[in-house]
C-alpha cells in the first residue's frame, strides 16, 4: 500500500480527478471517465500483478536539522518534484506538474473519516453564484461590484464532527397569564405569575461543528444544512483533484458549542408548548446528555477570497447544496439615503397614528405611542438594510437535527399577582 494515492489514467497515464457533475473519475487530459467501483476493480487486478497504479508520491526521509515537528515532504511520482504540504493538508497537488495527490498516510496516522459528502458543484458554479449573490445586494458599493478582485477560489473538504445524543431537560420557567379590563379612562392589567416545571427529552442526530482552525466558525455554520442522506463511506477517490484538511480542533473542544445549540433547541421546543402564557423566561435548568456518539466527516466547501480597497472578503459555498454565504461592504451613502427616506415615511405614519389615538389616550400618551412606533420601524428598516449585506451568523439552534419533543413530568404552580394601572388620557 502506497503512502499516498494518485489515480493513474489507464488510457494516457495522466491523473484522474473526481468529477462533481458525473460523480465519477475523469481524466482532464484525455477525458476518459470511470465509475469509482470500476477503477477499484481495475486497480485490484493490477495490484495482483504487482503493479501499483495508485502510487502518487513517496515520502522523503526527514531532515534531522528541521526538527521532529517539521511537516513531511514527498517526491511526486509523476514529475519527481518536491511536494511540501502544510500540517493540516490531507490532499494537495504537485506544485510543478499539478498532479493531484491524496496524502493517505497522514489521514491514517490521524483518523480515517467515517463518512464524506462529495462535491456536486464546480469552480465555474462558484463564480456564477458569486455574481448573482452580489448583484442582489442593494447596499453594496457600485465599485465593489465592478472592481473587486477575486484572488482565489479553492475547493476543500473541511473536517466536521457530527454529534448525536439524547438530551433530557428539567426546566423551571416563569410565565404570566395577563388579563386586561377597562373602567372609564382607566385600564387595569392583571398579571398572574406561575412557576412552570417541565421535563422533556429531545433526540439529536448529526449536529455538525467544523474541526478546522483555518475556517471561520460562523462561515461554516452558515453553510448548513448539509444533506446527510447523501453522505457516503469515506473513500480517498473523492479527494482526487480537491484539497482536504485534517482536523486540528478536537471533538472534545467542540462539544460545549454543540451542546449549547441542543440546550437552546430544547428550551425553544418547550416554550412552544406554553402558548397560554406570556413573558416566559427560564429560571432554572438542568440537562443530561446520554447515548452520545460522534462521527468524523469531510464536507465539501468552496472558499473564495476577494480583495477590494485593501481589504479581504471571504465567501463560502456549500459544495453539495450550492448555498452561498459571505459578508460584503455597505455603501454608507445608500444607507443614509435609505434611512432618511424611511424616517420621513415613518414620521408621516406617526403623525396619522397620533391623530388616530390622541382622542382616546390623551396628548401625552399619543405622542409617546407615535414616537415609539416611528423608532421601532426605523430600527427594523436599518436592521434589514445591514442584515441584507450579511448572511453569516453563528448557529445557536439545532432544530433541523432534532426529533419530536417527548414531554415528561410537569406542574403549574401559582406564585403571585401584580396589577398595573394605566390612564387612557
Is 354 a residue whose pLDDT tops 70?
Answer: no
**What H or E segment, with its residue span, contains residue 387?**
helix 363-387
Domain hosting 60: range is: 17-109
> Among candidates 317, 202, 323, 336, which has minimal Cα distance to 267?
202
121 within some domain: no
Mean residue pLDDT across the chain: 89
How confident is the model at residue 198, as a pLDDT?
A: 98
Between these two residues, 380 and 81, which has the higher pLDDT value? 81
124 within some domain: no
Convert the pLDDT of each residue in 110-169 to its tens digit.
999 999 999 999 999 999 999 999 988 878 888 998 889 999 999 999 999 999 999 999
Is 53 a residue whose pLDDT tops 80?
Answer: no
In percent, the amount of the chain with pLDDT more than 90 equals: 69
The residue assigned the cell 451568523 is 393
Q: How confident is the model at residue 353 (pLDDT cuts 50, 70, 90)?
A: low
- Note whether 277 and 352 are same-domain residues: no
- Note whether 306 and 215 are same-domain residues: yes
- Note whether 157 and 297 are same-domain residues: yes
Measured CA to CA, the distance from residue 322 to residue 119 in angstroms comes to 10
Q: Give me the residues paired with residue 302 across strands.
A: 155, 317
Measured CA to CA, the distance from residue 89 to residue 299 in angstroms comes to 15
308: Cα within 13 Å, side-chain hemisphere: 19
Which segment of 31-40, 184-193, 364-373 scores lowest on mean pLDDT?
364-373
Per-residue burial over 81-115, b if 16 or more Cβ lie within 10 Å, else e, is eebebeebbbbbbbeeeebbbbbbbbbeeeeebeb
pTM: 0.86
Measured CA to CA, the distance from residue 129 to residue 322 in angstroms comes to 8
What DSSP letter does each residue of 177-242 carry, written as one string? EEEEEEETTEEEEEEEEEEEEEEEEEEEEEEEEE--SSS-HHHHHHTPPP-GGG-EE--GGGGTTS
Residues 329 and 140 sit within 8 Å (Cβ to Cβ): yes
As a whole number, mean pLDDT of residues 405-425 equals 91
How confident is the model at residue 343, as a pLDDT?
A: 67
Residues 6+ apart with CB under 8 A from 64: none
- Note whether 326 and 348 are same-domain residues: no
Coil, helix or strand at residue 37: helix
DSSP 8-state code for residue 3: S
Is 47 a residue whose pLDDT tops 90?
Answer: no
What DSSP letter does each residue of 96-157 carry, written as one string? TT--EEE-HHHHHHH---SEE------HHHHHHHHHHHHHT-TTS-HHHHHH-EEEEEEEEE
How confident is the model at residue 374, as a pLDDT?
A: 65
Residues 80 and 67 sit within 8 Å (Cβ to Cβ): no
- Note whether 375 and 407 are same-domain residues: no
Q: All 3 cell numbers of residue 224?
A: 448548513
- Note whether 337 and 373 are same-domain residues: yes
Pairing of strands 82-83, 74-76: antiparallel
193 within some domain: yes
How confident is the model at residue 358, as a pLDDT?
A: 56
128 within some domain: no
Convert the pLDDT of each residue in 197-238 to its tens digit.
999 999 999 999 999 999 999 999 999 999 999 999 999 999
- Note whether 196 and 344 are same-domain residues: no
Query: Which region holds residue 381: left if phi is over 0, alpha if psi is between -120 and 50, else beta?
Result: alpha
Between these two residues, 346 and 178, which has the higher pLDDT value? 178
The residue assigned the cell 500483478 is 49
What DSSP letter does each residue of 318-385 carry, written as one string? ETTT--EEEB----HHHHHHHHHHHHHHHHHHHHHHHHHHHHHH-HHHHHHHHHHHHHHHHHHHHHHH
Measured CA to CA, the distance from residue 264 to residue 267 in angstroms comes to 5
Contacts 24+ apart (CB under 8 A), 93-98: 93/241, 94/57
Q: Count structural domains, the chain.
A: 3
- Note whether 311 and 397 are same-domain residues: yes
- Note whether 341 and 230 are same-domain residues: no
Q: Report in angstroms the alpha-carbon separations of 389 from 54, 379, 385.
A: 46, 16, 7
Convert the pLDDT of each residue in 152-208 to its tens digit.
999 999 999 999 999 999 999 999 999 999 887 788 999 999 999 999 999 999 999
205 within some domain: yes
Cα angle 306, 309, 312; round to 5: 35
- Note whether 177 and 217 are same-domain residues: yes
Amino acid at each position: 500500500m502506497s503512502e499516498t494515492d494518485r489515480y493513474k489514467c489507464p488510457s494516457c497515464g495522466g491523473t484522474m480527478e473526481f468529477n462533481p457533475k458525473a460523480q465519477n473519475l475523469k481524466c482532464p487530459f484525455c477525458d476518459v471517465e470511470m465509475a469509482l467501483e470500476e477503477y477499484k476493480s481495475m486497480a485490484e487486478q493490477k495490484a495482483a500483478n504487482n503493479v501499483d497504479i495508485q502510487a502518487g508520491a513517496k515520502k522523503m526521509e526527514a531532515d534531522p536539522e528541521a526538527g521532529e515537528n517539521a511537516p513531511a515532504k514527498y517526491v511526486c511520482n509523476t514529475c519527481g518534484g518536491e511536494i511540501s504540504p502544510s500540517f493540516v493538508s490531507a490532499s494537495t497537488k504537485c506544485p510543478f506538474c499539478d498532479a493531484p495527490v491524496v496524502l493517505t498516510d497522514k489521514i491514517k496516522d490521524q483518523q480515517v473519516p467515517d463518512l464524506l459528502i462529495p462535491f456536486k458543484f464546480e469552480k465555474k458554479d462558484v463564480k456564477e453564484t458569486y455574481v448573482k449573490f452580489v448583484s442582489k445586494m442593494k447596499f453594496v458599493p457600485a465599485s465593489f461590484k465592478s472592481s473587486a478582485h477575486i484572488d482565489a477560489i479553492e475547493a476543500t473538504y473541511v473536517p466536521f464532527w457530527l454529534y448525536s445524543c439524547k438530551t433530557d431537560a428539567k426546566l423551571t420557567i416563569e410565565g404570566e397569564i395577563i388579563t386586561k379590563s377597562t373602567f372609564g379612562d382607566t385600564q387595569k392589567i392583571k398579571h398572574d405569575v406561575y412557576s412552570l416545571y417541565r421535563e422533556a427529552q429531545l433526540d439529536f442526530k448529526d449536529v455538525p461543528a467544523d474541526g478546522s482552525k483555518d475556517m471561520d466558525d460562523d462561515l461554516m455554520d452558515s453553510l448548513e444544512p448539509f444533506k446527510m442522506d447523501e453522505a457516503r463511506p469515506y473513500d480517498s477517490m473523492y479527494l482526487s483533484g480537491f484539497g482536504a484538511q485534517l482536523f486540528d480542533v478536537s471533538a472534545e473542544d467542540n462539544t460545549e458549542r454543540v451542546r449549547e445549540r441542543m440546550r437552546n433547541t430544547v428550551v425553544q421546543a418547550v416554550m412552544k408548548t406554553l402558548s397560554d402564557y406570556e413573558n416566559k423566561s427560564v429560571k432554572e435548568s438542568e440537562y443530561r446528555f446520554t447515548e452520545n456518539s460522534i462521527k468524523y466527516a469531510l464536507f465539501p466547501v468552496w472558499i473564495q477570497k476577494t480583495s477590494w480597497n485593501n481589504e479581504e472578503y471571504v465567501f463560502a459555498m456549500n459544495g453539495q447544496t450550492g448555498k452561498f454565504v459571505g459578508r460584503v461592504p455597505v455603501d454608507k451613502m445608500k444607507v443614509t439615503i435609505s434611512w432618511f427616506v424611511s424616517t420621513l415615511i415613518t414620521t408621516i405614519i406617526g403623525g396619522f397614528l397620533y391623530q388616530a389615538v390622541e382622542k382616546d389616550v390623551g396628548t401625552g400618551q399619543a405622542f409617546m405611542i407615535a414616537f415609539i412606533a416611528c423608532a421601532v420601524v426605523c430600527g427594523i428598516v436599518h436592521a434589514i438594510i445591514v442584515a441584507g449585506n450579511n448572511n453569516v451568523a453563528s448557529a445557536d439552534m439545532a432544530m433541523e437535527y432534532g426529533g419530536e419533543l417527548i414531554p415528561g413530568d410537569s406542574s403549574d404552580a401559582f406564585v403571585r399577582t401584580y396589577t398595573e394601572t394605566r390612564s387612557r388620557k
